[in-house]
Chain A
Amino acid sequence: MTGQIELGLMVAQAYKSYGNLQALKGVDLEVVKGEFYTLLGPSGCGKTTLLRIIAGLELPDSGRVFLGGREVTHLTAAKRQVNTVFQSYALFPHLNIFENVAFGLKARNFDPTQVGRKVGESLEMLSLSGLEKRYPHQLSGGQKQRVALARALVNEPEILLLDEPMSALDAHLRAQVQEDLRRLQRSLGTTFILVTHDQDEAMMISDRLAVMNNGVVVQTGTPRQVYSKPTNQFVAEFLGAANILPARRQGNQLFTNLGPLHVSETPYWEEGHLAIRPEHIVLEGEIPQGSVNCVRAQVREAIYRGQSLDLWLDPGPLRVRTNTRDRLGPGDQVSLFFPPDDLVALDNQPSRY
């Protein structure tokens, strides 16, 4: 990190167990102030536990948490400038929308006129004006979610934590809310940390993300880095589809069951795996003479997906994603080109994750 970049959050070597279950096994995390950061992983990977430790709702067995350079490991949620949007939204059912949003300010004895102004601003920012007197059960799912956001943001937290806030919304609304959330974060400049298991959501919404599995952070980076250069098989397969090819290295040459392949970054291992995304494999009519990374294959199955055409090819099974203008069906012969830049050599430690 350069001197200009300010750390909003740092977690160092966080461990947490529940009985025999190890939820976190030494997690390190650095989140830059003002970025939209996502903790992405399958259920049970420890992402929610990590979020709760950041919120102050859970104490790590060992490890430390720093907020803007200040250690907060042993401070309760009430003593941290961090607010959470809960998965269930957790709106107080006996309080109306105004009272729900005003809760955090009133609990800290803010001046009543200030409370009114701030709550009003916050409701307006999330297009909830006019709903002040309603009760949570009178709102739609999307409105409830915005109330939960307003209730957290009105406190002007250093970091806003979002625990799978989109999971209760239907697919159409979810896409809308994801865009709104991203815009909101950009305009406020507040650090947002989102927990999700939805890799598409993580991709489109975050500046950077951490992929977690089995209580460990497997890889961090921008969505582009993590998607196009997965460091191991778990990341390659969790973030969209991937073809995993066993390979052997002899000098700078890599041999697979498709023949010799060139890779832009030569791996350190003798035996390991290569990954390539289905949409990165190029379909060509003719293989140019003497060209490298070209393979002939036969279509075994074609799956029409509206926006794309997925082909399962022999030898393989190899998955290729192409556009729907290609009218290919089972039995057709195709030529494939594997761009060396898109062929990624995976880290050779699959057992660790």
Chain B
Amino acid sequence: MDDEKTTNKNPANKKPAMISWRGDVTKLSSLRLKGFALAAPPMLWLLFLLTIPCISFIFIALAQRGEYGDVVWNFSAHNLKRLIGFGSFGWSIDYLKILGRSLLVALVTTVACVALAYPLTFHVATRPRKSRVFWLTLIIVPFWTNVVVRTYAWLLVLGPNLPPAKLAAWVGLIPAGTALYPSSMAVYLGMITTFLPFMALPLYASVERLNWDLLEAAKDLYASRWQVFRQAILPQTWPGLSVGIIVTFVPAMAMFVVTDILGGAKYMLIGNLIQQQFSQARDWPFGAALSVALMVMTLISLSVFRRRKINLDQNINLDQN
């Protein structure tokens, strides 16, 4: 061990190796023990309740559905084949379409949330300190309400013979007397209102600490509006924005409540499909296969995203002067 070596080199120091760490002077071994003791509970929690279940899904995905919805452990790639379209009735594109649609909905939701969160957070961050609390509360209030309840609220708002539906009927978008749901628009409305706070709060943390000198410097150096955003705002808000994108995109990929209520039967996403497999269909192996597919797709999207951000987040916030 390193500490023993240094002790031996210095004969004057015969005491056990003491180290200073964040204002404490302690024995290295006892510090290590403390560290393990503190880190163990969350590590065990993640191991048993996240890592092991996720890995077990890979095995379940390779198993078969028994006649009564039980899991039969004879391994084959049957479920993977089904996933890419080779079902009992020949090849169909349905499942791939659902996967593609899920990706599209998650992407559109994320992009829309980014586009809305920037003006929103700039508005809040530039208010006087006192009224900022009020605006932040308005953003946080939806968190206090269950997502199902909030989604049902949209049913009321978009219902037939109410001003929004009447306006749409008057313009000729929908027949008179019908509701604005089920529709893509209703799904996106529901998705964006659900996820906007997830985007806005981390972004706000970055926008609030914005160094406005950099914006002025960019303007002073002839930057266009886009260049001011790209060179002065985006790099500074990247830490918050990247967190917002991840906490929006990942759950949006797996969302099923909103599409279930506002999208109708035709608007199936992978989240709905997985939910069906584990409930009505009682087909755990296929549900597991879909879950693994979702996980892989999410991981691929995130790694593509991580690669794109190179050169943006390096060196940020290191400039102390």
Most buried by A among B214, B220, B314, B318: B220
Of residues 276 through 293 on chain B, the ones whose CB sits less than 8 Å from some CB of chain A are none
Of the four ranges (under 10, 10 to 19, 20 to 34, 35 or more), the interface on chain A belongs to 20 to 34
* A87 cross-chain contacts in B, Cβ below 8 A: 213
Is the C-beta of B156 less than 8 angstroms from some C-beta in chain A? no
A168 is contacted by which of B211, B218, B222, B321 (Cβ under 8 Å)?
A: B321
Q: Min CB distance, A103 to chain B, in Å?
A: 5
Residues 92-121 of chain A, each 1 if its beta carbon lies under 8 Å from chain B, else 0: 111100000001100110000000000000
Of residues 289 through 321 on chain B, the ones whose CB sits less than 8 Å from some CB of chain A are 311-312, 314-321
Size of the B side of the interface (Cβ < 8 Å), in residues, is: 26
Is the C-beta of A292 less than 8 angstroms from some C-beta in chain B? no
Is the C-beta of B87 less than 8 angstroms from some C-beta in chain A? no
Is the C-beta of A37 less than 8 angstroms from some C-beta in chain B? no
The stretch of A39-47, A133-141, A175-183, A192-200 in contact with B is A133-141
Instruction: Give the CA-CA distance A152 to B314 in the complex, in Å.
Output: 25
B222 is contacted by which of A55, A104, A144 (Cβ under 8 Å)?
A: A104
Instruction: Give the CA-CA distance A168 to B319 in the complex, in Å.
Output: 14
Instruction: Give the CA-CA distance A108 to B314 in the complex, in Å.
Output: 26
* B321 cross-chain contacts in A, Cβ below 8 A: 88-89, 141, 144, 168
B214 is contacted by which of A57, A92, A141, A151 (Cβ under 8 Å)?
A: A92
Instruction: Give the CA-CA distance A107 to B214 in the complex, in Å.
Output: 15
Contact A57 B220 (CB under 8 A): yes
Is the C-beta of A84 less than 8 angstroms from some C-beta in chain B? yes
Q: Which residue of A lies closest to B223 (CB)?
A: A107
Q: Min CB distance, B232 to chain A, in Å?
A: 7
Instruction: Give the CA-CA distance A77 to B321 in the complex, in Å.
Output: 24
Is the C-beta of B216 less than 8 angstroms from some C-beta in chain A? yes
Contact B216 A77 (CB under 8 A): yes
Contact B223 A78 (CB under 8 A): yes
Instruction: Give the CA-CA distance A141 to B319 in the complex, in Å.
Output: 11
Of residues 182 through 199 on chain B, the ones whose CB sits less than 8 Å from some CB of chain A are none
Q: Min CB distance, B303 to chain A, in Å?
A: 22
Contact A137 B221 (CB under 8 A): no
Contact A93 B318 (CB under 8 A): yes
Q: Which residue of B lies closest to A95 (CB)?
A: B231
Q: Which residue of B lies closest to A91 (CB)?
A: B319
* A95 cross-chain contacts in B, Cβ below 8 A: 231
* A103 cross-chain contacts in B, Cβ below 8 A: 218, 221, 223, 231
Q: A57-B220, A137-B318 are in contact. Are A93 and B213 (CB under 8 A)?
A: no
Contact B220 A107 (CB under 8 A): no
Sample (20) of A-B pairs whose CB atoms are under 8 Å apart? A55-B220, A56-B220, A57-B219, A77-B219, A78-B223, A84-B216, A86-B217, A89-B321, A90-B211, A90-B213, A92-B214, A93-B317, A94-B316, A103-B218, A107-B224, A135-B315, A136-B315, A137-B319, A137-B320, A168-B321
Interface residue ranges, B against A (CB under 8 Å): 211, 213-214, 216-224, 227, 231-232, 235, 311-312, 314-321
Q: Which 9 A-B pairs have the closest CB atoms?
A: A104-B221, A90-B217, A90-B213, A93-B319, A94-B235, A137-B318, A107-B222, A137-B319, A77-B220
